[in-house]
Structure 1
Amino acid sequence: MDLRQLRYFSVLAETLNFHRAAERLHISQPPLTVAIRKLEEDLGTPLFVREPRGVRLTAAGVAALPSARAALAAAEGFRDSVRQGAAGLRGRLGIGFIGSAIGQLLPRIISPYRAAYPLVELALEEMNSVEIVAAIAARRLDLGLVRLPLMDASAVEIAVIERDELAVALPTHDPLSGRTSLPLAALEQHGFIIYSPISVLNATIRLACRRAGFTPRVAQEAVQVQTILSLVEAGLGVALIPLRSARFATARVRIVPLDDPIPIEMGLAHALDAGPLVRNFVAAALAVQGVNS
């Protein structure tokens, strides 16, 4: 028994006439007659009663018809799923993201993507950039939002998704908080609240300070920008944060741009052999952000 026989049986059950069923199936009548007879032989019972002007279903045929239709519908659903999967319209995406992406970037990407690809299941997991790249390489994640540059990007392909710059976060009682902009060297005597070493921004900030002629005096390390800003508010030091994260600052923290901006980037990382599911997500994300791939 195969799907062809089930389709023949279903159409004949609807038309109750071999000639009309053959026309609907776009075949000649003899192959249809042979296929139905073979199906009945395989099942060990007749499905139709042959009459001079057509056929009628036997009790076995009446009982079998719903199952035959369900099997045909399931087969069509299977074909649709395969086509949709091959086109990146259906499936499951494992996405890693760094904490600073959760505020604006991730929601801005996810909402329109879900509207455009409702059959794709998204599994989101917060990680740092190093962990995301390792998970992509191990096939535990499909892609991730990471802070650039990566220390080792050999196993992934990167698409820049967002460009930003670092700005100074100071408590409002700091004398420098009234400035409209600052040279980085003006912070030399301040203690720094800095991103922990797992963040790319740790190395970015240390390198920028060295280029400005000093080594930052680290008062505290933290992972999340909200924590960093809270420590700045408490007067434990100053910080360099992404300018887009300024919205997390309270009224007791002042965000001041640098005279010489320090550019930073966020990217979408994925495996070099990524399939259409991932490629569709990257294209949709770049389109939302207005970034040329």
Structure 2
Amino acid sequence: MEIRQLKFFIKVAEYKNFTLAAEEICISQSSLSKHIKTLENELGVKLFDRSKRSVKLTEAGIELLNYANVMINTYNEMHIAMNEYKESNRKTLTIGTIPVMTQYGIPSLIASFAKKNIDIDINITEGTGPEILSFLDNAKIDLALIRTVSLSGDSYKINPLIDDDLVMIVSKNHQFAKKTSVDLAKASKENFIFLDSGAGIYDISLKACRESGFEPKIIYNYSRIETIIGIVAEGIGISLLMRKVVEFFNNKDVVMVDLEQRVTTNLALVAQAQKKSTEAMRKFYSYTDEWLKANKA
């Protein structure tokens, strides 16, 4: 039995769906199914009752889930405790971030911190929100700079940093271009261009559309924001992005329109709730608060 098999089992139990669990942990559904099957064969019990749409824990699965949670927590605590004995960890700060560092001024924050703390080596890892959260859960990074969408306050220490809100962007010739704000429901017939589904903004935008009473017609998904802005500028479709991100690219051929139903997100500094803060982490927390106060627009 491997620790990762238990982690995979917990995710399937959480989502009650192999496809969603596989997307969360960034492996293929077939690979996830094989891991669960191997675990069932080793234990000699069936852990899930499977159907086409969802899976349900068996009695054995329910009991294993209790043990699995205890084992994973103990495993993580062991790694954290052992890391305290590594001299290098006391002088290294590893930060995971979603790909919006430049748009929110994060490189300036990190560069400024590094100049004032030359004894601390800073490592930066970039990835999607689920990837960065997985790195944090597995103690591969010390801190995460991610949006707080669907984060549990019981599992994480969350230090809110920067608020931002969702806006619509359209070409300067679009019918909405002269409006200061728009009811998102009125865009139900529009063609949408979204960020890839691995990005948190995809889920935020999709939820906003559904809460406005419609399923958006998504004609393109792209991983690069500047590509989306460029296509919107050509009048091919419209998009939903965060205000500060759109302002950063400052494309004169697109117009930013406020949504009447305000959708706000927060970029936060996140750590594991059970992780003991190192001196480097404490210094970065303190410096971040000071830097934000000094640089708040």
Asked whether the two chains share a fold, i.e. TM above 0.5, the reply is: yes
2:290 to 269, 287, 292: 287
- Checking the alignment, whether the CA contact within 8 Å between 1:108 and 1:288 is kept in structure 2 is no
Please give the residue correspondences for 1:271-282 in structure 2 after superposition, counting only pairs within 5 Å: 271-272=272-273, 273=275, 274-282=277-285
Please give the residue correspondences for 1:85-234 in structure 2 after superposition, counting only pairs within 5 Å: 91-150=91-150, 155-234=155-234
User: How many aligned positions are there?
Assistant: 206
Structure 1 position 177, deviation (Å): 0.9
Range moving further from structure 2, 152-161 or 222-231:
152-161
- Checking the alignment, whether the CA contact within 8 Å between 2:103 and 2:244 is kept in structure 1 is no
Please give the residue correspondences for 1:237-276 in structure 2 after superposition, counting only pairs within 5 Å: 237-246=237-246, 247-272=248-273, 273=275, 274-276=277-279
Structure number with greater Rg is 1
- Checking the alignment, whether the CA contact within 8 Å between 1:137 and 1:155 is kept in structure 2 is no
Map Cα deviations across residues 45-88 of structure 1 (whole Å, 9 max, x no partner): xxxxxxxxxxxxxxxxxxxxxxxxxxxxxxxxxxxxxxxx89x9
CA RMSD of aligned residues (A): 2.5
Query: CA separation in 2, counterparts of 1:236 and 1:153?
Result: 40
Map Cα deviations across residues 65-121 of structure 1 (whole Å, 9 max, x no partner): xxxxxxxxxxxxxxxxxxxx89x9x71111111112222331242133123312211
- Checking the alignment, whether the CA contact within 8 Å between 1:150 and 1:200 is kept in structure 2 is no
- Checking the alignment, whether the CA contact within 8 Å between 1:185 and 1:214 is kept in structure 2 is yes
- Checking the alignment, whether the CA contact within 8 Å between 2:128 and 2:200 is kept in structure 1 is no
Change (3 A) 1:195 1:152: farther
Instruction: Give every structure 1 segment of 4 or more consecutive aligned residues whose post-TM-superposition deviation is greater than 4 Å.
Output: 151-155
Say which SS state the counterpart of residue 268 (structure 1) adopts. strand
Structure 1 position 172, deviation (Å): 1.2
Say which SS state the counterpart of residue 167 (structure 2) adopts. strand
Structure 1 position 150, deviation (Å): 3.9
Which residue in the other structure is 1:72 paired with?
Answer: none
Structure 1 position 152, deviation (Å): 6.3
Query: CA separation in 2, counterparts of 1:219 and 1:208?
Result: 17
Report the TM-score, using the length of structure 2 for normalisation. 0.63
Q: Which amino acid aligns with 1:258?
A: L
Query: CA separation in 1, counterparts of 2:114 and 2:132?
Result: 22
Structure 1 position 151, deviation (Å): 5.6
Say which SS state the counterpart of residue 135 (structure 1) adopts. helix
Query: CA separation in 2, counterparts of 1:186 and 1:143?
Result: 40
Query: CA separation in 2, counterparts of 1:188 and 1:115?
Result: 49
Report the TM-score, using the length of structure 1 for normalisation. 0.64
Which residue in the other structure is 1:16 paired with?
Answer: none
Query: CA separation in 1, counterparts of 2:96 and 2:226?
Result: 19
Q: Which amino acid aligns with 2:220?
A: Q
Structure 1 position 155, deviation (Å): 4.6
Query: CA separation in 2, counterparts of 1:153 and 1:130?
Result: 16
Query: CA separation in 2, counterparts of 1:118 and 1:256?
Result: 43
Q: Which amino acid aligns with 1:138?
A: N
- Checking the alignment, whether the CA contact within 8 Å between 1:100 and 1:224 is kept in structure 2 is no
Query: CA separation in 2, counterparts of 1:251 and 1:287?
Result: 34
Structure 1 position 169, deviation (Å): 0.7
Say which SS state the counterpart of residue 177 (structure 2) adopts. helix
